[in-house]
Chains A and B, each alone.
Chain A
Amino acid sequence: AQSVSQHNHHVILSEAASLELGCNYSYGGTVNLFWYVQYPGQHLQLLLKYFSGDPLVKGIKGFEAEFIKSKFSFNLRKPSVQWSDTAEYFCAVNANTGGGADGLTFGKGTHLIIQP
């Protein structure tokens, strides 16, 4: 079974600051990795995903994440945050067995607050 650890539960930054949210996973096989975001009052939506190829993936709204296999990590980054990035961020994984679309295992989430 997989598990996901997000180290920062609450992060407060000022606008224009750089962001890095940590995510580590535990699983012995190949995984697909995801970052989801939940803006206040809205649904969970996908920011970006990695399943193969270039370990540096770019998502929506200027976010990117880097998969480091040796560290079992998939940290989310953004060079300059905006007030509108205030949201809850979830890292998630599922097993890449070449089979069906498995359910996701989520981390506990990081509540990000951007101060104007």
Chain B
Amino acid sequence: EAEVAQSPRYKITEKSQAVAFWCDPISGHATLYWYRQILGQGPELLVQFQDESVVDDSQLPKDRFSAERLKGVDSTLKIQPAELGDSAMYLCASSLSGSASYEQYFGPGTRLTVT
């Protein structure tokens, strides 16, 4: 069964450093999402792409976070500079486009620890 791939699985970085996460969605899935999940909370949407275009980045802290999906396939989420409060699980999900009822498939996530 096809899966969403994410790397790295774990990342430890010092505050003020830059960090980047990578996501490869399921082949054919035009919609890609990045979520952040703080320990003990549910995932929160950071950014949504339709192909290479950003559809929703209203919850993305744009002063330090950036996301791109240049060729409409894989995507990178970057944090610069990282802060202690950014410690969380970063989840990528993908879905078919065209209907809000389509299932979102989640990757294993990248657990970020900022020291």
Task: Please give the residue numbers on chain A whose beta carbons come within 8 Å of chain B beta carbons, in ascending order.
Answer: 4, 32, 34, 36, 43-46, 49, 51-52, 90, 92, 94-109
A103 to B33, Cβ gap below 8 A?
yes
Query: Min CB distance, B95 to chain A, in Å?
Result: 5
Count how many pairs of residues, one from A and one from B, have CB atoms less than 8 Å apart in the complex.
74
Query: Could you say which residues of chain B place their CB within 8 Å of the CB of A102?
Result: 48, 56, 100
CB-CB under 8 A from A46, the residues of chain B are: 103-104
- The contact of A51 among B31, B33, B98, B101, by CB within 8 Å, is B101
Interface size on B, residues (CB 8 A): 31
Do most interface residues of chain B lie in helix, strand or loop, or is the interface mixed?
A: loop
Cβ–Cβ contact B106 & A45, under 8 A: yes
27 interchain pairs, CB-CB under 8 A: A43-B3, A43-B4, A43-B106, A44-B106, A45-B106, A46-B103, A51-B101, A52-B101, A96-B100, A96-B101, A100-B50, A100-B97, A100-B98, A100-B100, A101-B31, A101-B95, A101-B96, A101-B97, A101-B98, A103-B48, A103-B56, A104-B33, A104-B104, A106-B44, A108-B40, A108-B41, A109-B41
B99 contacts A43, C-beta separation under 8 Å: no
Please tell me if B72 contacts chain A, counting CB pairs below 8 Å: no
Is the beta-carbon distance between B44 and A95 smaller than 8 angstroms? Answer: no
- In the complex, are the beta carbons of A43 and B107 less than 8 A apart? yes
State whether A105 and B100 are in contact (beta carbons under 8 Å apart), knowing that A44-B106, A45-B106, A100-B55 are contacts in the complex.
no
What chain B residues lie within 8 Å of A95 (beta carbons)?
100
Give complex CA distance A94, B99 in Å: 11
* B45 interface contact, C-beta 8 A: yes
Contacts of A105 in B (CB 8 A): 45
Contacts of A103 in B (CB 8 A): 33, 35, 45, 48, 56
Which chain A residue has the least Cβ–Cβ distance from B41?
Answer: A108
Closest chain B residue to A44 by CB distance? Answer: B106
Complex Cα–Cα for A111 and B91 (A): 19
